[in-house]
Every structure is written in C-alpha cells, then in structure tokens.
C-alpha cells in the first residue's frame, strides 16, 4: 500500500555538524511533500515543502532534496543547534484530498 516512512528512528549529531534525515515514500504519483518538526509536547511545525517538479529546495539552514527515481526525500539541517532537537516527520497529502499521511518520525538529538 501507499506509505510514507522514515529510515532511522534516532539520529544523534554534534552541535555544529550537519544533519541529514531521510524519508522513503512508495507512491510514485506523489507530487508534494512536507517536513514537520515536533518538539516535545508541541504540535507539528511546518519547516519546508517541495513539489515533485523540483529536486531541491532551500530554506533557512534547511534543504530538502527529492529523488523521484528512488522515491526518497531528505531534510538537511546545516550547523545543527540544540534547538533543532525534536522529532522530524515527512508527510504527504494522500487519498485524493488534503489529509496528511505522516511517517513515523526521526528523533534528532543534538549533543553539545
């Protein structure tokens, strides 16, 4: 079935290093993806999105890469800071409407 999922449940990085969080999807017709950050006890916070007509999009300290050939999505965080510690979800609209299907999430831990 269609799914959006993540490769690794936990990622630990040193402060100042770059982080790469991965996501795989199975529906080759998917054309829009979103990354959310969820800090403990808070709601998902929109980080960045990308459409399938792009393979890269940059924001402030974040870059999303889309590889449609292997149906893979990644979120790169430059110069990771303690405030980046959170669970990161990729998500996509599914089912013909706008409802979002979330992956299981990757816990990013930033070590000082």
Q: Which residues bind another protein (CB under 8 A)?
A: 34, 36, 38, 41-46, 49, 89, 91, 95, 97-105
What is the Rg, in whole angstroms, of the alpha carbon atoms belonging to the chain? 13
Q: Residue 105 in 3-state DSSP?
A: coil
CB of 91 to another protein, least distance (A): 8
CB of 86 to another protein, least distance (A): 13
**Which residue, 17 or 38, has its beta carbon nearer to another protein?**
38
CB of 103 to another protein, least distance (A): 7
CB of 20 to another protein, least distance (A): 20
Q: Residue 83 in 3-state DSSP?
A: helix
**Which residue, 2 or 15, has its beta carbon nearer to another protein?**
2
Q: Residue 3 in 3-state DSSP?
A: coil
Identify which of 52, 48, 51 has the alpha carbon closest to the alpha carbon of residue 60.
48
**Which residue, 16 or 59, has its beta carbon nearer to another protein?**
59
Burial class (CB in 10 A: 0-12, 13-18, 19+), 97: exposed
**Which residue, 41 or 69, has its beta carbon nearer to another protein?**
41
Token pair in block for residue 46: 């929109």
């Amino acid at each position: 079935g269609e799914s959006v999922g993540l490769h690794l449940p936990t990622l630990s990085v040193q402060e100042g290093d770059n982080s790469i969080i991965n996501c795989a999807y199975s529906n080759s017709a998917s054309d829009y993806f979103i990354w959310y950050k969820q800090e403990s006890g808070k709601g998902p916070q929109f980080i960045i999105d990308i459409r399938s007509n792009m393979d890269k999009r940059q924001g402030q300290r974040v870059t999303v890469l889309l590889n449609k050939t292997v149906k893979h999505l990644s979120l790169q965080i430059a110069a990771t800071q303690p405030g980046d510690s959170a669970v990161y979800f990729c998500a996509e609209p599914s089912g013909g409407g706008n409802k979002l299907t979330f992956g299981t999430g990757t816990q990013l831990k930033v070590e000082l």
